[in-house]
Structure formats: C-alpha cells, structure tokens
Amino acid sequence: MSIVGTKVIRKEDPNLLTGRGQYVDDIQLTGMTHMAFVRSTEAHALIKGIDVSAALECEGVIGAWTAADLELPPLPEVPGLERPTLATDKVRFVGEAVAVIVAESKYAAADGTELVVVDYEPLEAVTNIEEATAEDAPLLFEELGSNTVAEVPSADDHQSVFDSAPHTEKIKLINNRCTAAPIETSACLADYGPAGLTIWASFQAPHHLRNRISAWLGIPQDQCRVITPDVGGGFGQKINFTPEFFLAPVLSKILNRPVKYSQTRSEAMTSMYHGRAQEQEVDIAFDNEGKIQALRVFASQDMGGYAIGTGMGMPVLTTAMSAGCYVIPNVSVAWRNVLTNTTPIAAYRGAGRPEATYLIERAMDHIAYKLEMDPTEVRRQNYIPKDDFPYATHSELAVYDSGNFEGALDELLEIMDYESIREEQVANQDMPEKPLIGVGFSSWLELAGFGPPGSLEGFGHLGSWESVQIRIQPDGSAIIYTGASPHGQGTVTTFAQIASEYLGIEYDKISVRHGDTATIPQGIGTMGSRQVAVGGEGVKNASIGIVQKAKSIAAHKLEANPEDIEVKDGSLFVKGSPSKSLSWAEVATFSFQRLELPEDMDPGSLDETILQEVPNFSFPSGAYACVIEIDKHTGDTRVRDIYLVDDCGTVINPLLAEGQVHGGVAQGIAQALYEEFSYDENGQPTTATFIDYLMPGAPDLPSYTSGRINTPNPNNSLGAKGIGESGSVGTPPAVINAVVDALRHLGVTHIDMPATPQKIWKILQGGTK
C-alpha cells in the first residue's frame, strides 16, 4: 500500500507532547543576558529626549541604549520606506521600540524599562484610512508629503459596461484588523563571539534572516548561523523582520555575552505585525440571470505605522484574486497603501486572499439578494467550467492551473442537508424562543504554493525554490535536510512519507532536519502554503535521483542491468528473480566503499541536493457552507455547523490536511465573529489583551464536517496544491453570508466583521419584517 495518502501519525508529536520540544526561550547559555524594550505609549509623537540614567542605576541592569547611542541602519525592508531599528526623532505607533535595556535577568530588564523617561511631544494621530487620506491629515513621514505610500490606478474602469448593465451594485467592505497571536510570542537569542554569530530565532525562514542580518551587520554569511528550533506558530507574522532580531546581535557583540529576548504577550499584541486591515469599494454589474458582467475593486490597505514588504504586497494579492472562481469578462482593479498610527501590517495566514475571497463572495450574495435567487444558483451561473483550465484571469499573477468549482459545490450539497436547514430557517422565524437560522456559502479559490521564479524575490527572498537534500546513511536509513522551516504544519511527517514512497525505505527510518543554516544547504522557508507543492516535489525528485544511483550499485553487485532492478519493501532486487536481492542497508554500505562500487561511481554518492522550482503558483479551492444560529433576544451568534469541501489536489496525509483546515477555519470564524484589533481616536489600542481581543478557543467552535474533491495540480508531479491557508481564506464570507442570511427577512444586506452580538442585537431591536 502506498504511504502517500494515508493517515500516518505525526513524527513531531511525541517530542512536543512529552514536553521535550525546545523553543528559543528554553535555551540557556552560559553568561546569558536578557533584553527588554521601552515601547512607545504614544501613537504619534516627537521624541524630545530620552533619559536612561535611572535605569542604569537599577540593580542588575547592564546597559541601556537609544537610537542615538547605537546609530544603526534601519531594518532591511521596503527601500525608501525603511523602518528605524529604534525610534529616532519620532514614534509612529503605540508599541514601537524606543530604547533597549540589557540586564542580568529578565526581571531586572523589565524593572529597567520602567525607569527610562521618554519626553514625548504628542502629535495628532491618524488611526484609519479615512483620517490618513484626509486633505490636511497629519503626516507620519513629513518628507513623503503624503500618508499614501503606493497607489496603483486601474487601467480601465469599464464604465460603459456598468452604464448599460441591467443591474449594478456598490458594496463597501471592511476586512477587520486581526493579529495572528501565535501561542509562542517572538523570541531570539544571539551569541556573537570571535567565531561569529549564532542566532536562535522564532521565525519561519531561517536562511532569509541569515542572509539579511549578515548583510546588515556586514559579516560574511559563513560566520552567521540562524537556528529556528521548535516554533510555536507563525501564521505569517514570523516571516517579517522585527527590530529585536537585529538589536540582539548588536548588543551581544558590544557586551561580548549572549543576549536573549523573550517577548511578553502584552508586547506581542501591539508590536508584532497585524494582518488584514483592508477596506474595499466594490462595484458589480450583472444581468437578470445573475451572470456577473463586470467587477471593479478599489482596495485600500492600512499599512500601520511602517511599510513592510509583505504588508505592501497584500492588496496586490487581493486584487489579483478578486475574480474568485468566476468568469468575469470585465475586471478592473486599483489599490493603495496608506500609513496610519497603528501597529504595522504584514502577512497573516491567507495574506491578501481572504480579503479577495471575502469581497467576491459577498458580491455573489448581493446578486442573490437583488435578484431573489438562491446563492448556490448565482454561483452556478458564474463558475469557470471545469474544462477551461489553465484559465487566464485579469491578472498576470493568477493563471489558474486547475479546479472544479461546481463539483465542489455539488459535493458540499451532498454532505449537508440544505433543504431541511431552509425549512428550519423559515419555521423558526415565527417562533420567539427558537433561534434565527442562517446559511451562507463560499466558493473560494486561492493562490498558494509560492511560487514561480520571481514571486518570493519580490518579498526580499533569495529565490522562490525550496531546498531538499537527501543523504542515505550507511545503515540504509535516510536523512532529509530542507530549507522548509515548519512550525506546526507537520512537514517532517509529510516529507518522510513522500521520501518513503519514492525511496522504498521504511517511514521509521527517515528523519527530516530543518531550521539550521549551518547544516541545511540554503533554503527559503515555510509560508504561502508552499511546502508540499514545492518542497515535497523536491523530496520526490531527490528520492528518484537517489534510487537511480542505488539501482546502479545493486546492478553492479547483482550482475544485472540497472534498468532491471526494482525497489520494494526495503530491498533492491532483479526483476523476475526476487532471490537476487540486496537490502537497502547493504546497498547503502556499499555506496561508501570504493571497492564495492561500479567504476563510474564515487563513494558517498547517495546524496542528492535539489533546489526545487515550480512553474506556477498552485490554486487550492473549495466550497464551504456555514450554518449560524442567532438568539433573537440577545443577538448571541454561534456557528452551529460548518461544512467544508476542499480541493487541494493530491493529499499526502489526510490527518494533517484536515488539521490544517481546522486551524484555518478556526481563524476564519474568529475573524468573522470574534476578533478585531481596534484603537481609540488617539491611537491607543483598546484590545491589547486576551480579555478584550476575543481569540476563540476549542469550546467556542463547532465540529467540522468535511468532504473532499481532487483535481490534481498539473504543475507538479505529486499533484499537490497546498492547504495551509485554505480555511482562513474560505471561511469568513461563509460565516458572514450566513449571518446576513439569518437576518435577510429584516431587510439586512450587510454586517461588518466581526459580527458581534451587540451589532446584531441592534439590528434585531430596530428590525421588523
């Protein structure tokens, strides 16, 4: 039986479940010191002075530094819009690092930060796009002359189509600001000695960090080592540079001692990158059958206080994917990036595609409202037919490789009882004590498997490939070294499955090593749902390469032709005469012994390195449905059921694929119903703790019902598309469509995320049929 496609238990789990995982904060070095930050309490202010003298008197404090003391270059982010490593003359959001303390203990470091006095001259803050783009808005960077740091107009607004269309609709949407809030907050430990620099970091892309930090510090890459040990969640937040990772090595060098930083939750909430925070103006034109004729999108991305590469890219991805699963003859997109006095924005699981899916799936329901059509019917009117792939869209980035959108909807309607939900919905409306029921759909499609050459370079990475090296050990076991840097995905398991399949070596004799630039032959990292579609393909190709060589060795020893050697169940044998066989262990041992090898082969040649490239992104898709219950008296809104049909092409491990969907769906429900990072008018955060920022937990989420269809990815031989972000992409519109559906009989056509009970209660108060 094939091991690819089976529910193998995760190799990662025993260590993690028995407390033997090792996170950055678990690592202790001799002479280690602790770093802590003085962070801005103002959203927008000039720094008139910083007095660290009292902190220096504090017991245990070793040193305190400001930007002026260190004179560091800015972080290596967007050219021309660089973020200072420590605030210089001005602060631009609450939580920005203003001064840094190093102390003998983390307690002393925290005490020290309390004693630093910063003299702020407050400036008027802009906390949202509207304020930031107002005529005489206060500017975050005076020298730029505007808070809008990028603006791309549409090539053609298709006005004539709108003018002649039977129906048009204008929709304004807000994709609420969220924070990823991984359980492990940011952490690093830098040890800069005479032999070079080692950094342990909670990060998703160790080579990326190594390459940029060594350039920033001016040391050769060979003397800079980045280790990402166990990482407790990233969700895109940990592919972006933060000041802490750059300051720790600098201070380690100054002090000639290791410097550790372990972020507090309070700091993580305001200083780690947020996600989403995009506003959209959407115009649609459609005919009487519900066929969409034109789509116009204007996406305004709130960048927060500083422009970060992945943040800048969000509206690019949103506008590339705005047409979703549908044939839309006329699409026009425009976008802009706007600075505000809030926490900077970067990638967050889904990164730009949830925003796209939300807008087009809300638009589909608006067509249904207007024409009084069933939302599934509207979608059927517009799907790209399953035989129309590859499908070129309005965007060069988005050439869809494959998909069967109507097939996914059909499967979805198989696993749910749509009719009886509709019956219950109508019956409940007139029964005061029964909840309102709503059902919402989302046919979604995303762009994953980053990516084709150039795609990640645009975000500052060295390349868009992923590295895989497989080394057969003398006993016939195998070690895979990869630049993938998993932090919860289960890549160790899936890569071992793929290798086992194509090497013919037992799963239990394959280890996967990652997260250390000293031992891994280059790498890019884990992000953009890429590591099965890119790295996994590399594992397969490296395995095939090794098997070719192993066959030559076996053929030489068994006096047969390499073409006649087969590999099965841990041994290599001559086709047709299974008694003439060698175990993998024997072949592996011979591979290191000159006298046992064919003439044209050198010892140690069962060692294959591949930088795997892919020609296109992959396009996971699916159809989700959400059933909502609303308490008519309190507005309490709960997801009763959620039905999920995913198409991620070939599934390597159904258990892990489902786990990825579950996590993403949880974050999707969270965005739709619970989470919003907000600020008051002065730019003070109002949701900076988990008491106010409502990240839901397992008891708050429904059970999931899943189904699956499979249209293989034609661009890799595995046929895999990626599934890491699917849930967070597909879920929010399904939930909001369901909430609105529950309130449709009251004339409701929209409610902004998060759909809180108070918002719904207000509607119920005012609403009559």
Nearest distance in Å: CB 765, other proteins = 8
Binding mask 645-684 for other proteins (x = CB under 8 A): -----------------------------x---x------
Nearest distance in Å: CB 53, other proteins = 20
Interface residue with other proteins among 694, 746, 748, 763 (CB under 8 A) is 694
Under 8 Å between Cβ of 345 and 408: no
Cα torsion angle, 579, 581, 585, 589, sign: positive
Query: For residues 432 and 454, which CB has a smaller minimum distance to other proteins in the complex?
Result: 432
117 near other proteins, judged by CB under 8 A: no
452 near other proteins, judged by CB under 8 A: no
Residues contacting residue 665 through CB under 8 Å, at least 6 positions apart: 624, 642, 644, 701, 704, 727, 728, 730, 731
Interface with other proteins in residues 53-112 (CB under 8 A): 106-107, 110-111
Query: For residues 106 and 379, which CB has a smaller minimum distance to other proteins in the complex?
Result: 106
In angstroms, the CA 657 to CA 725 distance is: 11
Under 8 Å between Cβ of 429 and 410: no
Query: For residues 216 and 761, which CB has a smaller minimum distance to other proteins in the complex?
Result: 761
Under 8 Å between Cβ of 286 and 165: yes
Query: For residues 266 and 577, which CB has a smaller minimum distance to other proteins in the complex?
Result: 266
Query: For residues 607 and 636, which CB has a smaller minimum distance to other proteins in the complex?
Result: 636
Query: For residues 460 and 635, which CB has a smaller minimum distance to other proteins in the complex?
Result: 635
Instruction: Give φ, ψ of 149 to 5 degrees.
Output: -100, -10
In angstroms, the CA 626 to CA 494 distance is: 30
Binding segment toward other proteins, per CB under 8 A, in 158-166, 242-250, 614-622, 754-762 = 754-762
695 token code pair = 């990240």
Query: For residues 519 and 686, which CB has a smaller minimum distance to other proteins in the complex?
Result: 686
Interface residue with other proteins among 159, 577, 686, 717 (CB under 8 A) is 686
717 near other proteins, judged by CB under 8 A: no
Interface residue with other proteins among 337, 340, 653, 687 (CB under 8 A) is 687
Interface residue with other proteins among 603, 633, 717, 747 (CB under 8 A) is 633
Residues contacting residue 255 through CB under 8 Å, at least 6 positions apart: 33, 62, 63, 102
431 near other proteins, judged by CB under 8 A: no
Q: Which of 275, 198, 305, 242 lies closest to 85 in space, CA to CA?
A: 242
Interface residue with other proteins among 696, 702, 707, 714 (CB under 8 A) is 696
3-state secondary structure of 568: strand
697 near other proteins, judged by CB under 8 A: yes
Residue 451: asked if its preceding bond is cis (omega within 30°), the reply is: yes
Interface with other proteins in residues 721-750 (CB under 8 A): none
Nearest distance in Å: CB 632, other proteins = 10
Under 8 Å between Cβ of 459 and 309: yes
Interface residue with other proteins among 700, 702, 704, 707 (CB under 8 A) is 700
556 near other proteins, judged by CB under 8 A: no
Query: For residues 216 and 261, which CB has a smaller minimum distance to other proteins in the complex?
Result: 261
Nearest distance in Å: CB 694, other proteins = 6
Interface with other proteins in residues 240-279 (CB under 8 A): 264-266
Q: Which of 344, 341, 345, 346 lies closest to 139 in space, CA to CA?
A: 341
> DSSP per residue over 600-662, as a string?
T--TT--EEEEEE--SS-B--EEEEEEEEEE-TTT--EEEEEEEEEEE-BS-S-HHHHHHHHH
> DSSP per residue over 154-191, as a string?
-S---HHHHHH-SEEEEEEEEE--EE---SS--EEEEE
Query: For residues 82 and 700, which CB has a smaller minimum distance to other proteins in the complex?
Result: 700
Binding mask 7-46 for other proteins (x = CB under 8 A): ----------------------------------------
406 near other proteins, judged by CB under 8 A: no
Query: For residues 91 and 760, which CB has a smaller minimum distance to other proteins in the complex?
Result: 760
Interface residue with other proteins among 22, 256, 548, 634 (CB under 8 A) is 634
Query: How many other β-carbons are positioned within 10 Å of the β-carbon of residue 698?
Result: 7
Greatest C-alpha distance within the chain: 89
Query: For residues 758 and 768, which CB has a smaller minimum distance to other proteins in the complex?
Result: 758
Q: Which of 99, 269, 260 lies closest to 188 in space, CA to CA?
A: 260
3-state secondary structure of 722: coil
Binding segment toward other proteins, per CB under 8 A, in 294-302, 647-655, 690-698, 706-714 = 690-698
3-state secondary structure of 118: strand
In angstroms, the CA 557 to CA 2 distance is: 28
Task: Give residues in contact with other proteins (CB under 8 A).
Answer: 106-107, 110-111, 114, 264-266, 633-634, 636, 674, 678, 686-687, 691-692, 694, 696-697, 699-700, 756-758, 761-762, 765
